[in-house]
A and B are shown apart, each in its own frame.
Chain A
Amino acid sequence: MPKLEIDGQEVEVANGTNLVQAAEQLGTEVPHYCYHPGLPVAGNCRMCLVEIEKMPKLQIACNTRANEGMVVHTKSDRVLRARESVLEFLLVNHPIDCPICDQAGECKLQDYYMDHDRQESRIPLESKVSKGKAIDIGPMIMLDQERCILCTRCTRFLDEVTGTSELGIFERGNHCQIDLFPGVMLDNPYSGNVADICPVGALTNKDFRFRTRVWYLESTPSVCPGCATGCNIDIHHRSGEVFRYRPRHNPDVNSYWMCDEGRLSYKRYQGEGRLLQPVQRAGEDWQPIAWDAAVGRFVDVLKGDKRIAGVISAQSSNEEIFLFDQLVREQLSGQVAGHSWSPEGASSDELLIDGDKNPNTAGLTELGLTLDARKIIDSALAGEIDTLVLYGTDLTQVCTVEEIAELGDKLDAAIVLDLRYGPSLEIADLVLPIASYAEIEGSFINRQRRCQVLGRSMEPTGHSWPGWQLLTKVAGSLGAPSHDSASAVFERIADKHAAFRGLTLAGLAGLGAPLGGATSGDG
């Protein structure tokens, strides 16, 4: 554990810590472009030059290990001058097109220019080297070679993380440019990451570019709902609309990365198809119904000596699963099963992509549910069930179209709680819209048995309700104690399930934590 001095402050760091990280420990940013903690050091941008006593030349902080007794200056005149000159060099051939550049607002060239340079240009505009603009290099990414500062973060990512090496550097000197190698496209399943790590507007995300200025966006930490890996993300949203996911660093889950499929999965939760208000069947038609009346109808359907069964999907949060299980199994003595379905041939790999396309299959099993939805359908088809409650479950994933029609005949009542229109509505007598994972507080458990927290990014769409709120209300009407927040529900889970003991939603914020014990079980 070497101790060193940075700008007059002493700091003790772990062995092998570089000076960028060591300064960070003191809250000092050493500006940098090429350095990225998830990639090998390149040392080419020269932005992180710092002064180290007893060394005649300035040294790059990213490639210098903190050593015992080092005295480092990150704000000396020499350092500031070097920084200023590197920025001036970067702007020699950089187009001055911030007003039409989609990176504006999150551009390190802009930010550092304002922080460290601010001098007038000494370069005539007409003498800039021209390179390619708006080059379509793959399904996710557009390339602007003129805006590129050649930090090689993208090529290092493709060489070292995906091992696909689609991009290279061509030409020399100030004609250097990033480009595709002949005959390939940047189409690997992680290509979107290059836009995240590009510090300037050279690589932009085709799905996101020109849809909004970034300074209008709010950011909420959450977890990607695309598969069982549970990559940590930030949800960037504005006025109830998600604009993009950005991977959020979690060394135990996804490092700095996420896959393209997960990145685009936000689209499933918004736009057309969301259920906006409770409805009940009126002959062939649907009739809107106020929430109070809808909850009352739901409670009425559950009351009495009925054979009740429920199916809840692995897209649901732990809090929803727990309350659903409590309601149907504990309170109403019905049967409950979890439903975790992935399409045939679903993508998977060794890196981050899991073949289980549900974010919370582990939540179902940890909370004691079986994954046998089909058994419940069989019981219903055999006439052994009066009331079926489907929570986020698409019946076509469990049975045939003919069987769905048969279920409609066999059941007395079917209640559907869901995000969006789907085939299950065909047999529904009452449909209650629930909020998406981005609209609620709650948690998922990933494939590593790690419990991670969802961020509530926005208000529920339309008149939908957070599932936990709906379930606790129904349970309360049937005489159970109710909960006033998702955190309170989680506390209850921690009481009842040993694996969750000691955890709280607030405590899990950030990086989450592994569940305790090797297996689940009621406590």
Chain B
Amino acid sequence: MSEKILLRHEDVANLRELDVYVSDGGYATALRVLKEREPEDIIEEVKASGLRGRGGAGFPTGMKWGFLPKDNPLRYLCVNADESEPGTFKDRQILEHNPHLLLESMVLAAYAIKCHKAYIYIRGEFAQGAKILEEAVREAVAGGHLGEDIYGTGFDLDVVVHRGAGAYICGEETGLIESLEGKRAYPRVKPPFPAVYGVFGAPTIVNNVETLCCVRPILERGAQWFKTIGPEKSPGPKLYCVSGHVERPGVYELPMGTNLRELIYDHCGGIPGGKKLKAVIPGGSSVPIFTADEIDVNMDFDSIAAAGSLLGSCGTIVMNEDTCMVRALRIIARFYRHESCGQCTPCREGTGWLERLMIGLEDGGANDRDVDLLMQVADNMMGNTVCVLADAAAMPTKSFVTKFRSEFEEHLQHGGCPQRSAEAMRASAHA
């Protein structure tokens, strides 16, 4: 796919400015749809496109919109721009370089679900992105693309950019809603789901930035066009965030279902320094890891799931042969311990316990049974909490230990990281 849809700013300079965006055909779709089409019709078109949520779960977007109860006219659209899964930095590209694509898509989505107030919950650390978005909102309102009586159609949409307060859990959609309401971001017990009880108790649709940004292209070119990109059951363009040991890390726009090996070796130029590949986390730090032998897999929701991992947020983290898997897991464990909101017992205590076990393995002091204990603790955490943060900590733990068990055993026998003590010995020999 040579034409860029989501990363069009890479082809058109200064696309973030309203004039440039409009002269590139921007807001024409919004104008046409608002004047010519019915909201129900839009939902049907999005359903027909097969668009699935890019935030991680891959839930069909049109279907989600259809869950809104018909009887409540007050409803909200909420954009999840709290991108914070380690290894993920795709939405940030759109927010900072192509904000009007998001805003136009929001107009279309809001029109479809008959909503007049939308929030963009943007990660607190994205100060630059928030500034750009706010400017874009101002421009769009001034240009008549947002605000009251858009294009004289009588449709209103007020967009509020809300900066997050800095916690990973604010990306969980109900944690996000709590945080937006000014509360501690404790994910809500479900049911009820946000489509029934969301922001301030009103029915709410929460969509990821990348997901929403597919809406304008779908309505511009049609559901059929969208379905021609990528596999039938999860079609469309996709942003891949590749980091770690590759020649050219970055965000790549490729069809959904791009092969992981091709992504690493063709698009990203392979592993630097002629090193061998050891492992790849395909979908952000929370998903099960692939070994070097397991990367002949297509990067779409169903294929990756069939291969035993998850597409997640498509944060692809590549590790070469020098990577200590114990250290890598310890870093992941530290992240989830630090980010657990502390609401549910298994997650609050389990994430801390996992990190403690990892510290023992890497620094020494671990007990013989600790590798097994890692697995048991992870098992006990999974599936037993309000949100999936516990699973996010447990899944990598289980897959790391299962696939690289010998490395963990080695740490145990050595009383710490053998690689690190070898480095320390070399350092002291030089001194």
A interface residue numbers (CB < 8 A to B)? 41-47, 49, 57-58, 60, 63, 81-82, 85-86, 88-90, 92-93, 122-123, 127, 129, 149-150, 168-169, 171-176
Contact = CB atoms under 8 A, between A and B. Distances in A.
Nearest to A33: B345
Contacts of B385: 46
Contact of B384 (A82, A90, A122, A127): A82
A173 B353 contact: no
A404 B370 CA distance: 82
Nearest to A62: B189
B341 A172 contact: yes
A255 to B, nearest CB: 22
A46 B339 contact: no
B338 interface: yes
Contacts of B184: 168-169
B398 interface: no
B352 interface: yes
Given A60-B189, A93-B349, A93-B352, A172 B342 contact: yes
A479 to B, nearest CB: 69
B386 A43 contact: yes
A169 B342 contact: yes
B189 A43 contact: yes
A44 B344 contact: yes
Contact of A173 (B337, B369, B386): B337
Contacts of A47: 345
In this complex, which of B184, B340, B346, B349 has the most chain A Cβ atoms within 10 angstroms of its Cβ?
B349
Interface residues of B, number: 28
Given A49-B384, A82-B384, A173 B342 contact: yes
Interface of B: 167, 184, 186, 189, 337-346, 348-353, 356, 369, 373, 380, 383-386
A494 to B, nearest CB: 49
Contacts of B186: 44
A127 B353 CA distance: 9
Contact of B189 (A41, A85, A149, A171): A41
A42 B189 contact: yes
A85 B380 contact: yes
A172 B189 contact: no
Contacts of A172: 167, 338-342
A81 B352 CA distance: 20
Nearest to A177: B342
5 contacts: A45-B344, A46-B346, A88-B380, A129-B352, A169-B342
Given A44-B386, A89-B380, A127-B356, A176 B348 contact: yes
Contact of A122 (B338, B373, B383, B386): B373
B236 to A, nearest CB: 28
Contacts of A85: 346, 380, 384
Contacts of B349: 89-90, 92-93, 174
Contacts of B189: 41-43, 60, 63
A46 B337 contact: no
B352 A174 contact: yes
Given A63-B189, A173-B338, A174-B348, A58 B384 contact: yes
B339 A149 contact: no
A174 B346 contact: no
A330 to B, nearest CB: 62
A284 to B, nearest CB: 69
Contacts of A173: 337-342, 348, 351-352
A279 B385 CA distance: 68
Contacts of A63: 189
Contacts of A122: 369, 373
A125 to B, nearest CB: 12
Nearest to A152: B343
In this complex, which of B337, B353, B383, B385 has the most chain A Cβ atoms within 10 angstroms of its Cβ?
B353
Contacts of B343: 42, 44, 150
Nearest to B350: A89
Contact of B345 (A45, A123, A168, A175): A45
Given A43-B189, A173-B348, A86 B353 contact: no
Given A44-B344, A92-B349, A172-B167, 11 more contacts: A44-B186, A45-B344, A47-B345, A86-B345, A86-B346, A86-B384, A93-B352, A150-B345, A169-B184, A174-B337, A174-B340
Contacts of B350: 89
Nearest to A89: B349
A36 to B, nearest CB: 15
A92 B352 contact: yes
Nearest to A149: B345
Contacts of A42: 189, 343
A90 B383 contact: no
Contacts of A168: 184
B8 to A, nearest CB: 38
A63 B385 CA distance: 13
Contacts of B356: 127
Contacts of B353: 89, 92, 123
Given A172-B338, A173-B339, A46 B345 contact: yes
